Amino acid sequence: MQIQDHWLSDVTRIVSPNFNDRPSEDDISLIVIHCISLPPNEFGANYIDDLFCNRLNPALHPYFEAIATLKVSAHVLIRRDGTCVQYVPFHKRAWHAGVSVYEERENCNDFSIGIELEGTETIDYTQAQYDVLNNVIHALLNTYPNLSKQRITGHSDIAPNRKTDPGDSFDWAKIIEVVV
């Protein structure tokens, strides 16, 4: 897997409108791991694409009524089967972290790349997801010089009073061993 013009090669591209310019395109220095399932604890539908593209139909599920108007995105989603989708080019600011702080620096969206895993905090992620995640991380580390294996964190670590993802079901050792 390679990155060309801030897009991953050989992945599905669905462009989200939910992004804007970073304060500095050269300041990409953090990778944030998230999880998402829509509806909660269900996998395999295209509802995540719909949410990130502002077309989630609130009538399809009661949970969607509360989130359909959110303007959110991530740079990348890795589905349960390992399919990878990119929504925002890496040099742009995706809207994934919300109110957040990393090493006393606020607004993590300004300097981070958001990677969503289709999953929950309580259901184990698949080996296919770890394999693709490692490939994505490897490509990012080889492209953006301010990234490092020490600057990979969970959403729960940058928004601890608000978020719990990727949760206890995420096995950090499965990425650390590969990106060493």
The CA distance from 179 to 171, in Å, is: 14
Residue labelled with tokens 């601890």:
160
CA-wise closest residue to 72 among 39, 105, 100, 50: 50
- Check 25, 65, 106, 116 and give the catalytic one: 116
What is the spatial distance between Cα 85 and Cα 65, in angstroms, rounded to a whole number? 24
Task: Give the CA radius of gyration of the chain.
Answer: 15
As a whole number of angstroms, the distance between CA 70 and CA 141 comes to: 30
Among this protein's residues, is 116 annotated catalytic? yes
| Residue the block writes with tokens 């599920």 | 61
Distance CA 44, CA 126 (A): 13
What whole-number distance in Å separates Cα of residue 6 and Cα of residue 166?
25
| Angle, CA 128 vertex, CA 126 and CA 131 arms, to 5° | 115
Q: Are 109 and 73 in contact (CB under 8 A)?
A: no
* Residues assigned a catalytic role: 116
